[in-house]
Structures are given as C-alpha cells and as structure tokens.
A and B are shown apart, each in its own frame.
Chain A
Amino acid sequence: MISLSYRRTGSVKHVDCDILIVGGGFAGCGAAYEAGYWGRDLRIVIAEKANIERSGAVAHGLSAINCYMGMRWNENMPEDFVRYARNDLMGLVREDLLFDIARHVDATVHMFEEWGLPIMYNKETGHYQREGRWQIMIHGESYKPIIAEAAKKSVDEVYNRVMITHLLTDMQNPRRIAGAVGLDVRDGTFYVFRARAVIVCAGGASHIYRPRSVGEGAGRTWYPPWNNGSAYALLMQVGADMIQMENRIVVTRFKDGYGPVGAWFLMLKSVATNAYGEEYEKTHIDDLRAYVGTKYADAKPMPTCLRNHLMLEEIKAGKGPIYIHTERSLDTPEKEELGWEDFLDMTIGQAVLWASQNIDPKTDPSELSMSEPYVMGSHAVCAGAWVSGPEDLAPADYVWGYNRMTTVEGLFGAGDTVGGSPHKFSSGSFTEGRLAAKAAVKYLKDHPDYRPQINTAKIEALREELYRPLENYEVGKHVIVKGSVSPFFITPKQGLQRLEKIMDEYCGGVGSYYTTNEKLLEKGLSLLLMLKEDLRNVGSEDLHQLQRAWELNHRVWVAEAVIRHTLYRKETRWPGYYYRADYPHVDETNWHVFVNSRYNPSTDQWEMSTRHVHHIVP
C-alpha cells in the first residue's frame, strides 16, 4: 500500500449548525442577513470557497443595480416586471417566483443605500437615476465589501476558503438534507457540516464551453472563471429536480474585454451597425417575424436571444465587424466619465483593452461580439432548481412546502441556484437569499426536534474520494520523468479543456454558431460520460489543483444536465442562445413547458419529464 499522505495527516473538522449557507455571494449574503434577523437563537454559518469580502460574480463591483421597481415613485409594479422577464425568456418563466422577487426588491435596495452604497439621483425628478426601465446607476466599486460587511455581522461564523464539494442527506431519509462536506483549500482540512437546513447560494458556470480566448484571455470570460456551477452540481447529486438546464446564455458584449452594453444601449442610446454602417436589427425584422412569429419578434423590448440571433445572421453573412458607436454618444464630459466608470466599476479588463488598442470611446467605435455560452440563473437566463413558490400567490402544483425549498426536504436555494426566475441580478439574488432564509427559519421552527443523522461510512468514503486527486498525482508522478503527460492521470486543466471541446463541438458552442442536433448531442454525451469516468483519474499536485479538480467535477455534472435537457426539448425555443438544427422552430403547441430532470442517486439514472408553465399575470 502506498503512503496516502493527506488521508493520514489531514485534519478533520466537524461543525454543527442549524443553517449552512453554501456560497457568500449576493444570494448568500442576503440569506445570511435574513437568517440572522429571524433566527435569533439559531446557529448560522457560511462556507465560502474564496473570501466573502470579494467573492462571487460581483467581486470587482458593479456600475448599476439591474433590478429595481421604483414602486414608491409609481415607476413599475411587480406585474410589469413579470411581463418583461416572461417576454425576454420566450414565455418560459416561474411567474410566482418573479413576482415574489419584484415585490420585495425595492426594500433590499433601500437597505443597501442606508448601509452606504452610493446610488445616483436624477436631479430633475429626485428619483434614482435610471439607466433603463429596470436599472439604476450606482458608484459600485465597493458594492460587494459593503454587502459582505452586513453578512459577516449576521452569522455566527464565516468559513472562508472552504469549498463545499458534496451535500449530505439524512441516514434515515435520503430525501432530506443533513449537511455537507468540503475542503479547506489553504490547509487541506476536511470539513463535515451537520446542518438542519442548507441554503445553496453558489454560482452558475463559466468554462463549460470553450471560451473565445484560449490563452491568458481564457480568464476574461464574461461570467467569472471561478463560478463553476456548484449551484447545480451539488443539488443534482442528491436528487433535486432541475429545470431549464438547456436555457444557457450567450451575451452580446464589447469584443474580448466583455464590457457590458447596458449603459451604452439604454442610457447613452448608442447604436450598433454592421461594418458598412447599416443598422442590421431594422433590416432583418421581417425575416425574424417569419421565423419566430410576431408574438416574440415584436415584443418590447426584443428578447435578448433574438437580438443575438439578428447579430449572428449578420456575422454569418460576412458583414462584420459589428460596431457599437460610442463616439456618437459621448458628447459631454459627464457622459464620457459615466462611460468609463461603467467599465472601471465592473469590467476593468475592458478599460485595459481600450488603453492597449488605442481606442478612445469618445472618437472611436468599439467592436461587439457574441460570447461562448454560460449556464446560470440570474441574468437573461434561468437554469436551476425546481423550488416551492410563495404560498400566497403560487399555483397549487408549484407549492409543496416552504418558499424556495427544492424537492429535497430542508434544502433551499437562492440566486443562480433557483430555476425559472431570471433577471434577478445582484439585488434580486440578495432578495431571493432573504426569502429562502426566512422560509428556512420557518422550516426549522416547524421541525424543532429534527437532528440530522449522517452515515459515518459514507463520510469516510467521501473523504477518500475528495483527496484521491492528490494520491493519483503522488503515485503517477513517479512513473514518468517529468512533465504533465501521464497514462495514469489527467490534470484538472486537461480535463477542463476536454470538457470545453466536447461542449463546443457537440452541444452548440461558438465553433458551430451555437447549432446542434440529436446525433451530435448523443455523440457528445457518450464522450462526456467517458470524461466523467476519467474524473476518478484526475491528478492534483497541490491543494490549489485539488480545488480545481472539484470545480471540474461540478462543471462536468452541469454539462451533463445541459446535454440531457437540450436533447429532450425538441424545438428551438431560444434562437440566438442555441439552435436544434433538426427542430429549428419555436413550437408553442408542444413545448410551451419546462423540461424537468432528476438524477436519481440510488439508481444512477436520470428521469426526464415536463412541467406546466402557469401564466398568473395577464
């Protein structure tokens, strides 16, 4: 027997708590605050794989809050927001969840302002400065540290640098949550959390598909490279039902730097043209009506995926580069400053790109491009868990327990984790965290005697599995002279590159203009399942690479769900996000439904079905 260094010397830490919050981004911080408020006598902890001061998708800051109703000024009501998000997602959303976020989100934003977040005001109206109908402008460099300060003060303990790798279910009842295990990525400690309720607030996934920049620039994905889909993988592995996993997002952004376009299109009224100066969205509108019907082609605003579609048509016709004409908008020093702050607050890499390529937005247009696909649930996209809705307004078949509880008892979700509720962004994700946490406290008050029971043999098996990549490397490295080529292991990076190649070429990545079909998907799935087997042979030389190994594991699970869902939905619901070449149209008759998947941990089988989409807002 070879010496298994980590398993022998690595320490184990047991943590008992009432509520475990997995991930300390915006949803996690919202969950922390609300759990602290309602659960005065409860022990509440956060496990965060980075440091909550600067973690999650808002790590570097934001220049706008993209979800604010303005109910106090009669700007929008929650039902307006539901209609907007429903149109944008081509009809398929959980309207109960959207309404629920919209009715609470203003209070969240007012709280942020009181905490010290600088929000801009419109001097004429005295209201918050709007960027667009739903967006307000902020000076948001320190958005995350401010929110993290509130979260830290709300809970009993924050475990920074602890990555949760697996959830645990109860020994007596495998459909009930009992805790989680994870890894301290600094000292290698194995963590066992025994929790009476768990709220998963982890992130969606970048690097499922091959990024457009494959060198150093692979780090400059639109969605952060550290978001690895734990939001979904953790839940799927314990048998939670998932919806909309086929609903990945492709974003139109400033080329390569992925600077956001919202402020430019909505506030500064910049226009996009092809290389020859034509406003291509206008010239193609009749073709679009013929393709998807007037219901969606003429929706105001035009659904995000359809705007992508029009741009893609233009690129395929060889009329690139596509330009955004910033130079026509920046006619005052105030607007110039606003344009720069937009990027310096939230996408500094775009400012670096401008400086390096000598592009001055005041005099030069910038190129736009379409990104690789991402899997997440809080932007113009809504992959995620099937959760119970708010009791006062959700349809009967959408309610089985507590608000934001998944189909595993005591397991709640918020933010990217929750399916069917897009356009939450930062404020809405925080709000959803609050909703989930209040419901979790209620669940615990209703079940005061529940004590989770964890199978110790199962814990030991997970511990072995968790550290296996270190052992694979320890053993394998002695067989070869040096280097990264081994017949016994692949590095996490090698595994990631294989995953990205499979997804790009078989499941509608940029390499095929987002197009796939049943045969391609089946072939892709067979290759992905071999990669899944090879995860047993990932070799990690240190703890950093061990974290990467588990991020890869979660990404592969997410990719499998994406392929299975894409196979099941026999239509092209979101042209511009992806195309099923064998079913190229929107099929309202058969597919105005959610696709639902459940991985069954006891049989190792996936069960696919559909769920009804209720329209509760006229």
Chain B
Amino acid sequence: MPTFVYMTMCDGCGKCVELCPSDIMHIDPVNRRAYNVEPDMCWECYTCVKYCPEHAIDVRGYADFAPLGHGVTVLREPEKGAVSWKIKYRDGRIKEFTFPIRTTKWGSIKSPRDYPAPREDLIHTQLLSHEPEYLKVEKLPTLPLLSKEASRVKN
C-alpha cells in the first residue's frame, strides 16, 4: 500500500507527518504511531522513508500492478552527501547503488539579502541578481523589438 509503517519501529515522532507532500502520513490516535491514511494518494516519493529517524517506514508497490516479494530500500545520509539504494527482486536478485546528493555543506547557501544591495537603477533593466556575471557570457541576449506596426494585429 505504497508506504507503510512497522509497528515495533515507529516511535510516533511525526517527522513523516511534517514532511509528506501529500499530507497522508498521520499519527494514529490509538497506537500513537504514524500510518498512511490515503494510500491511493501516495506517489511513492519516499520522502517519509528517507527522513524517518527510526527507519520504520517502507514501501510495498501498488497492488494494482506490483506482485509481492520485492523491496526498494534507501539510506539517505545528508552529512555524508550520499544516498544508497538496495533493490530486491521478487525472485531474490539484489542490486545496490550509491549516488552523491550534495557537494557543499548543508546550510552553507548565502541569503540574497547578504549580498551588497543592487544599484537603484538596475531595477529598470532586464538583469536579474548576479547577472551578467553568472551568465558566463558577456551580456544578456535580446532581440530586435517587433515594430509597433507589425504587432498591432487585430484578433
């Protein structure tokens, strides 16, 4: 049922509730643990799986078309800048992959408000912040303006 939560592993911290883009991870008032309240609105985006501090959340493919016995598990390690996947086939074959996720320290991005304020007149130009420098070409391209005549076409 897309995501599901293991009863003995979840401690009800609510991280999945905080992050789920579809608002379908909720805390069950009786068990005080998280569960997927609307599996047919789950995209299998794995956000809850990746961020769960207890690794209590897993995915079972959509019953419409996914035969049982498979597994796609993930370990996301932000401080190491890596995400690792383990794929288990229905017939038992295993594949493993690790990919980088970030090249800089988390939290290191500079606020646009920490740069010197732009000159007053630049608001009237077509340049965006850090341009033309960040374009890495000499100047911002433009086109000859279509003549007023040509553009006054009756619809």
Which chain B residues lie closer than 8 Å to A435 at the CB level? 128
Q: Tell me which of A60, A107, A213, A225 has the highest count of chain B C-beta atoms within 10 A of its own C-beta.
A: A107
Known contacts A78-B141, A355-B90, A617-B143; A348/B21 CB under 8 A: no
Which chain B residues lie closer than 8 Å to A213 at the CB level? 62, 64-65
Q: Tell me which of B2, B40, B89 has the highest count of chain A C-beta atoms within 10 A of its own C-beta.
A: B40
Interfacial residues, chain B to chain A (CB-CB below 8 A): 1-2, 18-24, 26, 37-47, 59, 61-72, 76, 78, 83, 85, 87-91, 93, 95, 97, 99-113, 115, 117-118, 123-124, 126, 128-131, 134-137, 140-143, 145-146, 148, 150-155
Contact yes or no, B143 A71, CB < 8 A? no
Complex-state Cα separation, A353 to B95, whole angstroms: 14
Which chain B residues lie closer than 8 Å to A355 at the CB level? 61, 70-72, 87-90
From the candidates B65, B99, B109, B154, name the one contacting A256 in the complex (CB within 8 A): B65
Contact yes or no, B65 A217, CB < 8 A? yes
Known contacts A218-B40, A348-B44; A358/B90 CB under 8 A: yes
From the candidates B61, B83, B134, B143, name the one contacting A141 in the complex (CB within 8 A): B83
Instruction: Write the nearest CB–CB distance from A550 to chain B, whole angstroms.
Output: 12
Contact yes or no, B101 A142, CB < 8 A? yes
Complex-state Cα separation, A349 to B43, whole angstroms: 8
Bitwise, A533-555 to B at CB < 8 A (1) or not (0) is 00000000000100100000000
Complex-state Cα separation, A615 to B68, whole angstroms: 54
By beta carbon, the residue of chain B nearest A437 is B128
Instruction: Write the nearest CB–CB distance from B66 to chain A, whole angstroms.
Output: 4
Which chain B residues lie closer than 8 Å to A617 at the CB level? 143
Q: Sample 14 A-B pairs with CB under 8 A, ordered by A number.
A: A40-B117, A54-B45, A54-B47, A60-B45, A115-B109, A146-B109, A153-B112, A215-B40, A218-B41, A340-B87, A397-B152, A438-B123, A441-B123, A442-B124
Known contacts A149-B109, A154-B112, A353-B65; A141/B76 CB under 8 A: yes
From the candidates A111, A353, A609, name the one contacting B61 in the complex (CB within 8 A): A353
Which chain A residues lie closer than 8 Å to B153 at the CB level? 397, 612, 614
Binds B, one of A30-38, A84-92, A324-332, A459-467: A30-38
Complex-state Cα separation, A118 to B134, whole angstroms: 17
Instruction: Write the nearest CB–CB distance from B12 to chain A, whole angstroms.
Output: 16
Complex-state Cα separation, A37 to B29, whole angstroms: 44
Which chain B residues lie closer than 8 Å to A219 at the CB level? 2, 22, 39-44, 62
Complex-state Cα separation, A442 to B124, whole angstroms: 8
Assess whether A357 is interfacial by the CB under 8 Å rule: yes
Known: A51-B21, A153-B112. 19 other contacts (CB 8 A): A56-B21, A77-B141, A103-B140, A115-B104, A118-B103, A142-B78, A142-B83, A213-B62, A215-B62, A216-B62, A218-B41, A219-B41, A219-B44, A220-B62, A344-B85, A348-B46, A348-B59, A351-B72, A391-B126
Contact yes or no, A71 B137, CB < 8 A? yes
Instruction: Write the nearest CB–CB distance from A128 to chain B, whole angstroms.
Output: 12
Known contacts A226-B21, A544-B23; A139/B43 CB under 8 A: no
Which chain A residues lie closer than 8 Å to B66 at the CB level? 352-353, 356-357
Contact yes or no, A37 B118, CB < 8 A? yes
Interface residues on A, range: 35 or more
Which chain A residues lie closer than 8 Å to B83 at the CB level? 141-142, 344
From the candidates B19, B111, B136, B143, name the one contacting A53 in the complex (CB within 8 A): B19
Which chain B residues lie closer than 8 Å to A215 at the CB level? 40, 62-64
Assess whether A335 is interfacial by the CB under 8 Å rule: no
Complex-state Cα separation, A53 to B20, whole angstroms: 10
Bitwise, A151-169 to B at CB < 8 A (1) or not (0) is 0011000000100000000
Which chain B residues lie closer than 8 Å to A547 at the CB level? 23
Which chain A residues lie closer than 8 Å to B85 at the CB level? 340, 344, 351
Contact yes or no, B137 A111, CB < 8 A? no
Instruction: Write the nearest CB–CB distance from B100 to chain A, whole angstroms.
Output: 5
From the candidates A116, A217, A351, name the one contacting B64 in the complex (CB within 8 A): A217
Complex-state Cα separation, A329 to B112, whole angstroms: 44
Assess whether A79 is interfacial by the CB under 8 Å rule: yes
Within 8 A of B (CB), among A209-263: 213-221, 224-226, 256
By beta carbon, the residue of chain A nearest B137 is A71
By beta carbon, the residue of chain B nearest A54 is B47
Contact yes or no, B90 A79, CB < 8 A? no
Contact yes or no, A60 B47, CB < 8 A? yes
Complex-state Cα separation, A224 to B23, whole angstroms: 13
8 tightest Cβ-Cβ pairs between the two chains A and B:
A116-B104, A395-B151, A217-B64, A37-B112, A60-B45, A217-B62, A355-B70, A107-B134
Which chain B residues lie closer than 8 Å to A582 at the CB level? none
Within 8 A of B (CB), among A192-224: 213-221, 224
Within 8 A of B (CB), among A73-111: 77-79, 99, 103-104, 106-107, 110-111
By beta carbon, the residue of chain A nearest B129 is A37
Complex-state Cα separation, A141 to B140, whole angstroms: 31
Instruction: Write the nearest CB–CB distance from A74 to chain B, whole angstroms.
Output: 9
Contact yes or no, B90 A393, CB < 8 A? no
Contact yes or no, A392 B45, CB < 8 A? no
Contact yes or no, B155 A612, CB < 8 A? yes
Assess whether A445 is interfacial by the CB under 8 Å rule: yes
Complex-state Cα separation, A161 to B37, whole angstroms: 17
Which chain A residues lie closer than 8 Å to B46 at the CB level? 60, 348
Assess whether A289 is interfacial by the CB under 8 Å rule: no
Which chain B residues lie closer than 8 Å to A396 at the CB level? 146, 148, 151-152
By beta carbon, the residue of chain A nearest B37 is A544
From the candidates B2, B62, B67, B131, name the one contacting A104 in the complex (CB within 8 A): B131
Complex-state Cα separation, A24 to B111, whole angstroms: 17
Instruction: Write the nearest CB–CB distance from A518 to chain B, whole angstroms.
Output: 23
Complex-state Cα separation, A435 to B155, whole angstroms: 28
Instruction: Write the nearest CB–CB distance from A432 to chain B, whole angstroms.
Output: 11
Instruction: Write the nearest CB–CB distance from A174 to chain B, whole angstroms.
Output: 25
Contact yes or no, B44 A154, CB < 8 A? no
Which chain A residues lie closer than 8 Å to B123 at the CB level? 38, 438, 441-442, 445
By beta carbon, the residue of chain B nearest A48 is B21
Complex-state Cα separation, A544 to B126, whole angstroms: 43
Contact yes or no, A146 B142, CB < 8 A? no
Complex-state Cα separation, A356 to B101, whole angstroms: 26
Instruction: Write the nearest CB–CB distance from A357 to chain B, whole angstroms.
Output: 6
From the candidates B18, B62, B99, B145, name the one contacting A51 in the complex (CB within 8 A): B18
